[in-house]
């Protein structure tokens, strides 16, 4: 077929460019590649934009190895309990480190671990304050940068075509704005001194206009922050947008957390990282206002004051009675492309008053804290009643309180949190993580969330996306036989005491994963992974020959075979094969995807590319494979149906201050004549997009 020829020509062209060029080794840190390596199990329930944003926060604010606690080291999800304990023993015995390469002398550390750790840690960072005033320090700081990103689809979606005329003479809905998306980000920060930044974002289909009534200032979304650090006893003072992470995520859970995945041990435990600036283009899940953390002796106290406008579907049964207004739903998509979506923009507000008090033992091995958060909406939140959401929050005010602890004893980490919300719904988590030897790590985790437990900013470890209506027991193991072989496994047993969306019966299930990894002197890494999940869900009524809903058990198996090869210091490849099967209601379906990646660096240029083929029988067998994208952006498309996908990404370092990225991707389907539905529909069988990004570093 003609499109196959087009793909192969593109692929051969990129290979010739790579192989005919002589280059230098890669410079800098590839934050996306690290995230993909550490959390290589893709899942549609994960918020990858939040994942990369939080990872970026750690990268831009490295831990001082001479000051950090065991809890802070654990928050990186890189070191095992034994490695953390070895590090703490080394520092307690020999004092401060003079060089990061001193890590090689610590028992249980190896080159591979140190290489992963280096981008996120530092030794005695320069914390001297400049004599200049804050505005000048912000402008002159060497980390100051500005990013501009432009992305557009090459095919025309239905929402950007001329509207149709209905029988009643009305025009059909269409997008109000232009088809491209735009993104601007400015950030300047100095370790232990300040952080200042703002983010502007416009999605495809949104208008570019000045409308303070809907909080639109040109770009559709505007986020900003100013954080000051170590001002006397004030550890942190933040103005603008921020997030909070304390305890195990039952009340405040906005940290770097990804749930279940290929990293079977460290990701189950949350670390109290405190207040962090919010710099993402995600339009929900953050506080806006002021927060401050005050440290005195062994105690730290934090206060949170927030007033943020929220997108809401507001209904007004009696237009003559203002008090009759109520919120029907709180959309979280962040899209404002049509008249309906625009009408919901910032149509309600949410106020939060909260706090945290934490006690640290003298050696920092024990941490005990309490959390409180009171949330008040502009109007009562009265979602449409369904049997599955009978115990969800309804009302205008919610309050939630918790107490938590974290205790490090030798190479054992004990942690837990218990909480109660206004509804009297309760939740608790408890776990222990340990290295039983230098080869063997394990974690045991239990959780119990009542069906009427309400937490708007919680992000506890769970099967569902929110800590509500769930009980579970998780066991994770990791065995490092030697430097070449590694075996990781987890099993998670869970149940839902009340009904859920698409499961109108109490239900239970399990999930397990095994991965075997072989690495050979940094030249080759091969792993094979199996993941199985079993859950109940509804069978929709068919021709009235059965009750409205019956429940059947679905069992899904995913298999992954991945090979990474470093051909040279400038050239690497990745080959990945994924396939799955889904058994449900006495029927089995399947799907697969095969992807070949090429990466190269030479001189001022870096290149990445992929060609992938996929064939899935249904939506339940869709495949997710991480793709490289422009700096600090993410792309994890679902491969669904039959066809192929390819992309080519280039980066050019024009000067010390200026970097330019250009990415082109395309999907070609052989089983359809249109792609998508509604206003997102594209006529034809191809879908392509181009992304352009430039970063300017002011003082580099």
Query: pLDDT digit string (tens) for 333-392?
Result: 999 999 999 999 999 999 999 999 999 998 888 999 999 999 999 999 999 888 889 999
Measured CA to CA in angstroms, residue 472 lies from 493, 537, 610 at distances of 5, 18, 39
Q: What is the pLDDT of residues 456-509, one digit of tens each?
A: 999 899 998 899 999 999 999 999 888 889 999 999 999 999 998 888 889 999
Beta bridge partner(s), residue 226: 196, 239
Q: Give 81's pLDDT tier (boundaries 50, 70, 90).
A: confident
Across the range 225-240, mean pLDDT stands at: 95
| Whole-number Å distance between alpha carbons of 428 and 461 | 11
Measured CA to CA in angstroms, residue 408 lies from 69, 361, 464, 586, 653 at distances of 10, 11, 28, 49, 45
The whole-number pLDDT of residue 124 equals 65
Measured CA to CA in angstroms, residue 679 lies from 157, 163, 176, 207, 331 at distances of 7, 11, 12, 16, 18
| Whole-number Å distance between alpha carbons of 426 and 521 | 49
Measured CA to CA in angstroms, residue 626 lies from 14, 37, 178, 485 at distances of 20, 10, 28, 24
Q: Are 637 and 698 in contact (CB under 8 A)?
A: no
Angle subtended by helix axes 48-60 and 31-38, to nearest 10:
120
Please say if the pLDDT value at position 665 is more than 50: yes
The helix, strand and coil proportions of the chain, stated in percent and rounded to the nearest 5, come to: 15, 50, 35
| Whole-number Å distance between alpha carbons of 53 and 444 | 28
Beta bridge partner(s), residue 200: 184, 222
Across the range 52-69, mean pLDDT stands at: 77
Query: How far is the first Cα of the chain from the last one, in angstroms, to the nearest whole number?
Result: 49
Please enumerate, as own/partner, the contacts of 127-133 that have beta carbons within 8 Å and a separation of 24 or more: 127/191, 127/192, 127/193, 127/230, 129/193, 130/190
Q: What is the pLDDT of residues 190-203, one digit of tens each?
A: 878 899 999 999 99
Helix count and strand count (H, E) for the chain: 8, 36
The whole-number pLDDT of residue 344 equals 93
Q: Give 118's pLDDT tier (boundaries 50, 70, 90).
A: confident
| Whole-number Å distance between alpha carbons of 345 and 308 | 12
Please say if the pLDDT value at position 27 is more than 60: no
CB 411: neighbour CB atoms within 10 A?
23
The DSSP secondary-structure symbol of 41 reads: -
Q: Are 66 and 124 in contact (CB under 8 A)?
A: yes
Number of residues written out for the chain: 700
Beta strands in 34-99 (DSSP E): 63-64
Cα angle 580, 583, 588 (rounded to 5 degrees) comes to 80
Cα 251–chain centre separation = 18
Please say if the pLDDT value at position 548 is more than 70: no
Mean pLDDT of the chain, nearest integer: 87
| Whole-number Å distance between alpha carbons of 388 and 62 | 44
The whole-number pLDDT of residue 16 equals 36
The whole-number pLDDT of residue 21 equals 33
- Three-class secondary structure of residue 212 per DSSP: helix
Structure tokens at 542: 């068919």
Please say if the pLDDT value at position 157 is more than 80: yes
Beta bridge partner(s), residue 665: 647, 689
| Whole-number Å distance between alpha carbons of 435 and 441 | 4
The whole-number pLDDT of residue 24 equals 32
Which of 47-51, 131-135, 271-275 has the highest average model confidence (pLDDT)? 271-275
Across the range 254-283, mean pLDDT stands at: 82
| Whole-number Å distance between alpha carbons of 142 and 134 | 14
CB 325: neighbour CB atoms within 10 A?
17
Please say if the pLDDT value at position 17 is more than 70: no
Return the higher-pLDDT residue of 74 and 162: 162
């Amino acid at each position: 077929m003609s499109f196959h020829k087009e793909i192969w020509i593109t692929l051969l062209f990129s290979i010739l460019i790579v192989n005919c060029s002589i280059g230098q080794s890669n410079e800098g840190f590839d934050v996306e590649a690290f995230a993909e390596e550490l959390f290589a199990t893709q899942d549609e329930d994960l918020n990858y934009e939040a994942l990369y944003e939080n990872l970026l926060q750690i990268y831009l604010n490295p831990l001082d190895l001479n000051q950090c606690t065991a809890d802070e080291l654990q928050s990186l999800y890189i070191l095992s309990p034994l490695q953390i304990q070895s590090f703490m023993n080394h520092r307690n015995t020999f004092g401060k480190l003079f060089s990061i390469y001193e890590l090689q002398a610590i028992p249980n550390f190896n080159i591979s671990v140190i290489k992963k750790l280096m981008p996120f840690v530092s030794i005695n960072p320069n914390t001297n304050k400049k004599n200049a005033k804050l505005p000048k320090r912000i402008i002159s700081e060497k980390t100051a940068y500005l990013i501009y990103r432009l992305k557009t689809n090459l095919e025309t979606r239905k929402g950007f075509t001329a509207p149709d005329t209905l029988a009643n003479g009305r025009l059909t809905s269409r997008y109000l704005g232009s088809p491209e998306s735009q993104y601007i980000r400015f950030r300047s920060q100095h370790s232990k001194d300040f952080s200042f930044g703002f983010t502007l974002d416009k999605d495809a289909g949104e208008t570019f206009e000045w409308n303070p009534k809907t909080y639109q200032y040109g770009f559709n979304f505007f986020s900003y922050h100013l954080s000051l650090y170590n001002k006397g006893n004030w550890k942190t003072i933040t103005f603008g947008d921020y997030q909070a992470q304390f305890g195990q995520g039952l009340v405040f859970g906005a940290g770097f957390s990804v749930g279940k995945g290929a990293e079977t041990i460290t990701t189950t435990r949350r670390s109290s990282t405190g207040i962090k600036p919010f710099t993402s283009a995600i339009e929900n899940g953050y506080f806006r206002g002021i927060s401050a953390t005050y440290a005195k002796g062994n105690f730290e106290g934090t206060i949170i004051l927030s007033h943020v406008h929220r997108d809401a579907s507001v209904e007004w049964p009696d237009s003559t009675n203002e008090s009759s207004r109520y919120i029907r739903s709180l959309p979280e998509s962040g899209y404002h492309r049509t008249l309906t979506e625009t009408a919901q923009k910032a149509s309600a507000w949410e106020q939060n008053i909260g706090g945290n008090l934490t006690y640290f033992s003298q050696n920092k091995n024990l941490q005990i804290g309490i959390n409180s958060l009171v949330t008040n909406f502009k109007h009562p939140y009265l979602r449409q009643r369904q049997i599955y959401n009978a115990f969800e929050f309804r009302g205008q005010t919610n309050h939630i309180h918790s107490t938590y602890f974290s205790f490090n004893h030798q190479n054992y980490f004990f942690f837990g949190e218990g909480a109660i919300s206004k509804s009297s719904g309760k939740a608790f988590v408890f776990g222990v993580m340990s290295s039983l030897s230098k080869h063997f790590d394990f974690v045991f985790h239990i959780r119990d969330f009542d069906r009427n437990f309400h937490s708007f900013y919680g992000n506890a470890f769970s099967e569902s996306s929110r800590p509500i209506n769930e009980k579970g027991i998780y066991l994770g193991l990791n065995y490092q036989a030697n430097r070449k072989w590694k075996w990781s496994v987890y099993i998670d047993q869970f149940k839902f005491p009340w009904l859920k969306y698409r499961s109108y019966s109490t239900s239970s299930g399990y999930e397990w994963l095994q991965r075997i990894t072989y690495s050979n002197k940094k030249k080759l890494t091969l792993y094979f992974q199996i993941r199985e999940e079993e859950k109940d869900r509804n069978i929709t009524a068919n021709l009235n020959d059965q009750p409205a809903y019956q429940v059947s058990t679905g069992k899904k198996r995913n298999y992954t075979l991945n090979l990474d090869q470093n051909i040279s210091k400038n050239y690497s490849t990745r080959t990945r094969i994924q396939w799955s099967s889904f058994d449900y209601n006495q029927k089995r379906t399947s799907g697969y995807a095969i992807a070949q990646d090429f990466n190269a660096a030479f001189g001022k240029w870096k290149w990445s590319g992929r060609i992938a083929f996929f064939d899935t029988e249904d939506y339940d067998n869709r495949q997710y494979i991480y793709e490289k994208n422009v700096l600090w952006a993410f792309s994890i498309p679902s491969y669904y149906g039959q066809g192929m996908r390819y992309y080519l990404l280039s980066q050019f370092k024009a000067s010390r201050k200026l970097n330019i990225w250009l990415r082109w991707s395309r999907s070609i389907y052989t089983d359809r004549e249109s792609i998508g539905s509604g206003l997102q529909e594209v006529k034809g069988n191809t879908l392509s997009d181009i992304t352009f990004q430039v970063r300017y570093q002011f003082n580099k």
